Structure 1
C-alpha cells in the first residue's frame, strides 16, 4: 500500500509542476482556441492540460520501472503496459489536435478505436464475466467486446467534461474507490500478476487527477481538453477491464461458504462487475442521454450541444461550483455503497447507506426548484390572505443569460485574477 501511495503522491506533484509549465507555454504562444457557443467560460483559456497529465503518467511509469516493488508490473506484463502508454499517447495527440483545430468527429472516433484495439490486442481483455464463471466466448468476441467497452467509457468521461474541475474530481473519487477495491482483492486473494497493472494505473490516475485539479478548480486557469478527458477515460476503462475480465468468483469463496469479501454469493459474484459500472454511472448516464437525444433529433451522436447534465444543473439554478459538487456527491455515494457492500456484514447496511445517500443527493440536485416552489407557495398564500386574486403561472426554470458574442482576444495573464465563468 505504501508504495502505491508514494507513486500517487509523486505523480500528483509531477503533474502539478508540469501543468504550470504547460500553462505558461500556452499563454506565451497563445495556444488556446476560440470560445464556442456551448462553453461556460467567457475568456480564452488553454486546453492543454491533457499534455501535462500524460507527461505525469510517463513520469510515474519511469519511477515504477526503477522501484523494486512496482517494477513487477513491467516483468509480469511488459507488453500490456507499453500498449497502454502507446494508446494513451495516440489519444493525447488526437485530443490536442482537436482542441486546437477542431477535428472531425469521425477522425477522433477512429483514433479511439485504434487505441482501444492496441490495448485489447496486448491481452487486456474481458475474457470472462465474474458471474458464475461465464466466459465471453471466442477470442475474437473478447477482442471486440473489450474494444467497444474502452471506447464507450472514453466517450462517457469526455462527455461530462464541461465544468471546471468536474472530470478531474470525479476521476479522483472514482479511481480512489476502485483502487481500494482492487487492493482489498489483493489482500483477500493473494498477490497475483494481473492485479499489478490495474492497481498501478488506478494509483497513477488518482495522482494525475489530484495534481491537475489545482489548476482546474473553479475558476480554472487551464482545461484538460479532450486529450485529458479521453486519457482519464482510457486508463479508467483499462484498469476496470484488467480486473473485471479475469476474476474467478471461486477464488473469492463464492458458492463455497468461505467468502472473505463479498459476504454473500450474490454480492461476491456481482460486485466485480457492478463497481466498475457504478463508479462510471454519472458519465455513462450522460452519454446515453446525449446519444438518445441527438439520435432522436436526427443528428450525429457526437454532435456537440449544450444539454448535458452539467448544463441542466446550471440552467436549474445551481452555481458553477454547486453543479460540480453535485456530481462529486453522486459519484461518492454510489462508489462508497459498492465498497461497503463488498466488505461489510450484513449487506443491508450498504443498501441503507445507498438509499439515504440517494435521497440526500436528490434533494441537493433539485434544491433550486424546491426553493422556487416553496417561495412561490408562500407568495400565493400571502396574496390570498391579503384578498388578492392569484392566477397560477406554469413553472418554467429561468434561462441563464448567454455569454457576449465578442470576447477579449488575449488570454488572462498570470498576474491578473482568473476570469470567472459565466454560462454560455
Structure 2
C-alpha cells in the first residue's frame, strides 16, 4: 500500500508543479475558451489542463516501472504501454479540440479509433458475468471495450461544467475503485495490480490539478483533461477483469458492484446519468446529442440557488455515496449498507433542495406581506357610506336645511 501512496504522491506533485507552466503555454498558443451562453464562468480562462495531468501520469508510471514491487507489471505484458499510448493519443485529440473546437462527429470518430487501438493492444474485457464468468470472444471483447471507453470519455466530458467538479468526481470514483481492485489483487502472490496502479495515479493527478482548478479556476482541464480522466478510469476497470479467474473467483466476490462490465457506470454514475439525460433531452427536441445547453445537473444545481462551491461539494457527496456504498458491501452486511446509504441519501437530498425550499418560503412570505399591504391600502382608500360618515358634510347639510326652512317662512 505504501508504494501505491508514493505513486499517487508523485502523480499529484508533478501535476501540481507543472500546471502553472501549462497555463502559460495555453495562453501563449491561444487555448483560451471564449465565454459562451452556457458557461458558468464570466472571464475567459485558459484550458488544456489535461496536458499537465498527462505529464503527471507519465512521470508516475515511469517511477512505477522502476520500483521492484510493481515493476513486474511492465514486463511480459503490453497493457501498461498500450494504456499510456492511448492516454497520449486521447490527450492530443482533446488538445486539438481545446484549440480548434473540433466537430463532434470528428471527435467521436477519433475516440472510437483510439479505443479500438487500445483494445487491440491488450486492454480488453476478458470475462462476461452471464450467470458465471464466461470468456468473451475477441470480437465481442473489443466491441464492448471500445463502447465502454467512448461512453466513459463522453460522460466525464458532459459533467465537466463547474470548477473542480469532474476532477473531484473522478478522484472519488478512483479511490473507491482502487480499494476494490486492491481487494481483488490480494489473491495474487505479490498484491501487484495494474488496475490499482492506474487508479492511484489517476487520483493523484486529479488532486494535483484540483488545487489549481478550485473555484475560481486558474486553468480548465478542457477536453484534453476530461477525456483523459474518463479514459483512464475505464481502462483500470477493464484491466481488472483479467484478475477474475472463473476457476477461483466466485460470483459473490464481484457481485457487490454487480458485474465488472458495469464498474465504470458505478464509479461514474453521476456523469453517466447526466449524459443519458442530456442525450434523451436533445433527441426529444430533434437536436444533435452533442448540442450544448444549460440543462445539465450542475446547471440545475445553480438554478435552484446553490453557489458554485456548494453545488460541487453536494455533487461530490452523491458521487461518494454511490461509489463507496457499492464498495462497502464487500465488508459489511448488505442490510446495514443499504440503511446507511438511505440515511446518507436523505441528508444529501435535504442539502440539495435546501436553497430551493428556502427561496420558495421567502417568495410565499413576500407574497403574503404584499397581499396584506394591498388589502390595507384598499381598505383605507374606500370611504364608508351613510349620513354620519363625514361629520363636516353632515353639518353642512343641516345648515342648508335650516336656511331653506327660514326662507320658506
Give, in whole Å, the separation in 1 of the partners of 2:35 and 2:371.
48
- Pick the structure with more helix per residue: 2
Change in CA separation of 1:387 and 1:301 when aligned onto 2, cut-off 3 Å: closer
Gaps of 5+ in 1: 390-424
Q: Which moved more, 1:288-297 or 1:195-204?
A: 195-204
Q: Distance in 2 between matches of 1:118 and 1:310?
A: 33
| CA drift at 1:276 | 3.8
Gaps of 5+ in 2: 377-409
Partner of 1:157: 156
Q: Which has the higher contact order (CA 8 A, sep 6+)?
A: 1
Change (3 A) 1:110 1:123: same
Per-residue deviation, 1:378:
4.5
- Partner in structure 2 of residue 57 of structure 1: 57
Aligned position for 1:103: 102
The reply on whether 1:3 has 2:7 as its aligned counterpart is no
The residue that corresponds to 2:313 in the other structure is 325
C-alpha distance 24-354 of structure 1, shift in aligned 2 (>3 A): same
Task: Write the distance in 2 (CA, Å) between the matches of 1:372 and 1:162.
Answer: 24
- Aligned position for 1:367: 354
Aligned residue among 212, 216, 235 for 2:213: 216
| Deviations, residues 332-387 of structure 1 (Å, cap 9, x unaligned) | 1111211211111x221110111111111222222222112333455567678889
Aligned to 2:68, the other structure's residue is in SS state coil
Which of 253, 271, 294 is equivalent to 1:283? 271
TM-superposed CA distance for 1:174, in Å, is 0.9
Query: Cα distance 1:358–1:131, how it changes in 2: closer, same or farther (>3 A)?
Result: farther
Contact 1:126 1:146 (8 Å CA) reproduced: yes
Residues 317-336 of structure 1, C-alpha deviation per residue, up to 9 Å, x if partnerless? 11111111111000111112
- Tell whether the 8 Å contact from 2:73 to 2:193 is kept in structure 1 after alignment: yes
Partner in structure 2 of residue 20 of structure 1: 20
Give me the whole-angstrom Cα distance separating, in 1, the residues matched to 2:367 and 2:27: 53
Match of 2:283 among 265, 276, 295: 295
Partner of 1:125: 124
Separation (CA, whole Å) in 1 of partners of 2:259 and 2:352: 27
Secondary structure class of the residue paired with 2:33: coil
Residues matched between the structures, number: 376
Partner SS for 1:71: helix
Match of 1:190 in 2: 188
Task: Summarize the Cα distance change of 1:252–1:357 in structure 2 as closer, same or farther, 3 Å threshold.
Answer: farther
Following superposition, the deviation at residue 231 of structure 1 comes to: 0.1
Q: Distance in 1 between matches of 2:286 and 2:175?
A: 39
User: Larger radius of gyration, structure 1 or 2?
Assistant: 2
Whether the 8 Å contact between 1:50 and 1:229 is mirrored in structure 2 is yes
Residue deviations 1:112-169 (CA, integer Å, cap 9, x gap): 0011111111222122224532426432111111111110011001100011001111
- Please name the residue that 2:165 is paired with: 166
Q: Distance in 1 between matches of 2:147 and 2:320?
A: 26
8 Å CA contact 2:152, 2:264 repeated in 1: no
- The Cα RMSD (Å) is 2.4
Superposition TM-score, scaled by structure 1 size: 0.82
Deviation by residue 1:196-254 (Cα, 9 ceiling, x = unmatched): 22111101100100110111000000000000000000001111111146524663445
